[in-house]
Structure 1
Amino acid sequence: MSDADVVVIGSGHNGLSAAMYLAKAGWKVVVLEQSQVPGGAAKSGEVTKPGFIHDLYATNLGLFLGSPVYRDFGPMLTQSGLALEVSSEPYASVFPHGTALSMYTDAEKSLASIANFSPEDAEAWQHLVDYFQRVSPYLFPLLQMPVPSFEFGRGIFRMTRALGWTGTQELLSLLLQSPREFVESWFSSKEMQALLIPWGFHLDYGPDVSGGATFPFLESVADHLNGMAIARGGIGLLVHSMINIIKGYGGQVEVNAPVTQILTDNAGHATGVKLSDGRTIAARRAVLANVNIRTLFESLVDPTVVNHGFLKRIQKFRFGPGTMMVHLALSGEVPWLNPSVTRSMYVHIGPYVNDVARTYQQAVAGYLPDSPLLVVGQQSQWDHSRAPDGMHTVWIQVRAVPGHPIGDAAGSIVTTDWSTMGPLYAQRVLDKLEEYAPGVTSRILAMTVMTPQDLQNDNPNLVGGDSISGSHHLDQFYFLRPVPGWSRYRTPVPGLWVVGASTWPGGGLNAVSGYLAAQALLKSRGRH
């Protein structure tokens, strides 16, 4: 049996973030990744044709760049190979008849784009930006604190002193709104409302789900102010930079190393792991699992060492609807009807709020949506290393689809097996893209479709293709994530910790759970 101070299961960015801090502190760290390629949902590769580099799943680095991890390791990540490309045209939405609403880091250009549809909405947008700049210095830090905690309480106190009691209540009211309530309370034109709605759906907030206003509010304004950042050469270079740092501190990272069991002693304390090849690795201080909470306790932990009540709560942890990815290698850029979106990093195709609401309801009911929301990523417009000269990659996130379909809302696809359904549904995606970019299909050199089942096969954390590793609805978010009483990364098994998107603060490349768990481990010195 080999040994370590801490064994990290999984090489998602949160597991790697924790490993960097622990290795820097002098702990002997071993990271074990079941896949051949590290990174979890942060992977890139030539999945269509040689020379075309695609981010397979996650791509937007905005949250990571605002994280404590980037604050503490940014220069080292750069030295280890991470470079950024930042789009000054972060996102847009396209509508029928060739109309579009594009956002820019240039405030005047953004206001002019909005004013094309509603001068009143342009004025309202400026008010929203002003409001964001007033509240975000107090709100963003809360999203990087353990909950519940005295630190979080002090953050609320600072916010209340700055905004006043009424101002704090007004902010809370906004955050608890549904995405539809949020956009309708600020804007009158259906185009401006539709521009912000998809941001909630990047998580699992359909337009009418309470609590879903937070991400549309924060992401839409933050991207306008800061631009949208991606990793030059693919997001995999972020992962490799993190691994280089871990190795530089003496840590080990091993791929093709599936863990099959968390080892425990007679007292029920986690003592190490067993791998699929029969090896065991002892963990003197802790086992830290970058594993979905249900997968962890249903597949890796002996149920006899866990309280039955906790297991019942874990079994109720819900997953959101699935995601399908379509990657294209194109002979040229996307021929949008409206050329103003040609260089937008993200182009959302809903088109309108009610269309997105229908898509969400169909997906959660188990039906393939008749017209899914498309998030069209144009990374090669800003990172020219991702495709040969004059050619482009296109990254399409299809939101949302059921992980286990029972039928087709359009009635034309009769199979419910993703292995045969995937190509058929991908054609529906291409047909919708063609409506807004006529001729795009004639430019396709190669295409790779990744169904929800493919996502789960590649990364077991993405159960049913749920790209955010568990619903973010209010009953399992904030201090209730993953389950009541266990929001601070410890588990009922002493010595076993958990991080990742199924823990607070949830999905996205935010690196927060890895950071917070590492700080807690260092403070406790790994004592049970």
Structure 2
Amino acid sequence: MSQWDIVVAGAGHNSLLTAAYAAKAGFKVLVLEGAPRIGGDTTCEELTLPGFIHDPCSTAHNLIQNNPLMRNNELQLDQYGLRYLYPDPVFTMPFRDGRSITMWRDLDRTCAELARFSPEDAEAYRELLNDWQAMAPIVNDERENPPQPPQEIAARTAGSKLGLRMLEIRQSTALDIITQRFREQHVRAFFAWIAFMTLHPLDEPETGLLAFSLVAGRQRFSWILPEGGSIRLPLALASVIEENGGTILTSQPVTRIVVEGGRATGVETADGSAYAASKAVVSTIHIVQLPGIVGEENLTPQFRAGIERWKPSLSMFAAHYALSEAPRFRTESGSMESVTMGGLQSLDSLHRMLTGYRTGRLDLDDPVFLAITPTVIDTSRAPAGKHTFKLISFLPYQLAEGPQHWDLVKDQVADRLFEALAPLTSNLSKRIVLGRNVASPLDMERRNPANWRGSCHGGASTPDQSGYFRPVEGWSTYRTPIEGLYQTGACTHPGGSVSGLPGRNCAAILLQDLGSSLDKAIHLKERVT
């Protein structure tokens, strides 16, 4: 059995981040990934044709920009080939009635777009951003540390610059915030679409902050994406790990976490290999699958009960295209190329989509879209003059006929979505399509076991499954009931998306328990012996 200090199960961006800090702190680290390539949901593949580099799941890396990892350049990832691009426009939103709204990196220019619909709403947008500045320090501090009990969060919130107003915002639905602050229907749809981009149903309680944080993040960082594809982040982290003596093995799915005397002591992989961990095992295995890997008898009844109640989040349907030219979206100032396009015709459209998700019904008459053409700003992702294009909608994994029904209908669904989007462009048609790859929510689960029930965000972020309760009440500190076993990834605080915060937070706890710290990892010059 090979011997390591720390063995990490999974090579998504969060687990790689935990591993990178641990390796920098001088520990001997091994990362085992079940797929042929690292990255999990932050990876790249030639899904359509050779030379066309697609992001199967995540493309935008917005949330990670405010992580101290990036904010303070803690691991100097820019020295390992990671370079971010800032599209301008941020995104455009054409409507079927011929109107359009475009977000630009320049705030005044964005406000001018909104003022065409309502000068009052343009001013309300500035007020919303100002309010976020008052709330951001508290929210960011919460996200960058293990979560506190709800009563402590409420007390800190009430003591903020906005006082009880912030507490009211936190408890509200995002839709309530949007309808209270904005009056014009197109403007409401514009802000609802942005607030929905972490796939939280906006009509649920305690989603109010999304109407502030996601909007402000897009305005500040644009629809930021890594040059060369989403995998550039995992590749940079892998370089840090390997440069500091760590090892990464792919095509090695972990099938068992070895528990001896109540302590995690290593792992076994599908080919029968065994790897001992003298200090810790870090898991990014989906929390629902964890009992089968560690043995239910090794988990407490309370922990098992929490897992059994785990709820999935919204799921994505994605069609990837190789195109001969970039889509040009219709705007009131003429058709334009844009890295990102948002499609939400009205708040009623959002309600229809959420109803379809909750009932397992495919409603394709008024779909909600996210369309991304990375090659508008990053020509390295396709042959010269050609483009990659990803068309996403938000459709249920659990169809009324069962999830397996997706295999029968996914191509027709992709056709319907393409046809629904085409009128919002001046050139999107089969004429410019060179190749296509369709991924239903069921396919998302098949390609990555962490995408349980088609969700790339780990699970729902409802109040009972967020913060202090994620993944299970009493176990939100990245530790588990098994000594020496730590959990990171989208099932832990603060949840899904490319934030890197579950990985960094887990590293902080892990290193603290091992007598080290993040600060030592960042500044350590010599390896531990």
Contact 2:160 2:166 in 1 (8 A): no
Q: Deviations over 1:433-485 (max 9, x none)?
A: 11212541221111111111211111101012112110011111111111211
Contact 1:44 1:54 in 2 (8 A): yes
TM-score of the two chains, using structure 2 as the length reference: 0.92
Determine the C-alpha separation between the residues in 2 that align with 1:517 and 1:225.
27
Determine the C-alpha separation between the residues in 2 that align with 1:431 and 1:212.
32
Determine the C-alpha separation between the residues in 2 that align with 1:458 and 1:285.
31
1:191 deviates by 0.8
Q: Deviations over 1:21-73 (max 9, x none)?
A: 10011111000000001101001122112222221111111211211222455
CA 1:356–1:341 in structure 2 vs 1: closer, same or farther (change >3 Å)?
Answer: farther
CA 1:286–1:75 in structure 2 vs 1: closer, same or farther (change >3 Å)?
Answer: closer
Determine the C-alpha separation between the residues in 2 that align with 1:190 and 1:439.
27
Determine the C-alpha separation between the residues in 1 that align with 2:363 and 2:245.
49
Match of 1:278 among 269, 272, 282: 272
Aligned to 1:424: 412
| Equivalent residues in 2 for 1:354-365, closer than 5 Å | 354-365=348-359
Aligned to 1:221: 216
Aligned to 2:346: 352
Matched residue SS, 1:518: helix
CA 1:279–1:89 in structure 2 vs 1: closer, same or farther (change >3 Å)?
Answer: same
Contact 2:5 2:278 in 1 (8 A): yes
Counting aligned pairs with the same residue, the percent is 28
Which shifted more, 216-225 or 185-194?
Answer: 216-225
Match of 2:182 among 169, 187, 195: 187
Tell me how many residue pairs correspond in the alignment.
513
Contact 1:376 1:394 in 2 (8 A): yes
- Work out whether 1:445 is the aligned partner of 2:445: no
Contact 1:183 1:196 in 2 (8 A): yes
Q: Deviations over 1:110-158 (max 9, x none)?
A: 11110111111111111112222233233322221211279x969965x
- Work out whether 1:475 is the aligned partner of 2:461: no
Which shifted more, 430-439 or 341-350?
Answer: 341-350
1:416 deviates by 5.7
Match of 1:230 among 219, 225, 231: 225
Match of 1:517 among 506, 511, 517: 506
Tell me the amino acid that sits aligned with residue 405 of structure 2.
D
Determine the C-alpha separation between the residues in 2 that align with 1:485 and 1:162.
26
Contact 1:94 1:100 in 2 (8 A): yes
Aligned to 1:31: 31
Match of 1:327 among 317, 320, 327: 320
CA 1:75–1:206 in structure 2 vs 1: closer, same or farther (change >3 Å)?
Answer: closer
Aligned to 2:263: 269
Task: Give structure 2 stretches of 5+ with no counterpart.
Answer: 517-529
Tell me the amino acid that sits aligned with residue 455 of structure 1.
M
CA 1:72–1:296 in structure 2 vs 1: closer, same or farther (change >3 Å)?
Answer: farther
Q: Deviations over 1:88-107 (max 9, x none)?
A: 32123221132111111112
Aligned to 2:235: 240
Aligned to 2:8: 8
Matched residue SS, 1:65: helix
TM-score of the two chains, using structure 1 as the length reference: 0.92
1:281 deviates by 0.7
Contact 2:335 2:425 in 1 (8 A): no
Determine the C-alpha separation between the residues in 1 that align with 2:30 and 2:494.
25
Determine the C-alpha separation between the residues in 2 that align with 1:455 and 1:9.
20
Determine the C-alpha separation between the residues in 2 that align with 1:444 and 1:234.
21
Matched residue SS, 1:188: coil
| Equivalent residues in 2 for 1:14-413, closer than 5 Å | 14-71=14-71, 73=73, 76-148=76-148, 157=156, 163=161, 167-265=162-260, 267-297=261-291, 299-338=292-331, 342-370=336-364, 371-399=366-394, 401-406=395-400
Matched residue SS, 1:484: coil
- Work out whether 1:461 is the aligned partner of 2:450: yes
Q: Deviations over 1:298-339 (max 9, x none)?
A: x20111222233212211111123211111111112132226
Matched residue SS, 2:316: strand
Determine the C-alpha separation between the residues in 1 that align with 2:503 and 2:442.
27
RMSD: 2.2
1:74 deviates by 5.5
Determine the C-alpha separation between the residues in 2 that align with 1:169 and 1:155.
9
Which shifted more, 435-444 or 52-61?
Answer: 435-444
Contact 1:11 1:33 in 2 (8 A): yes
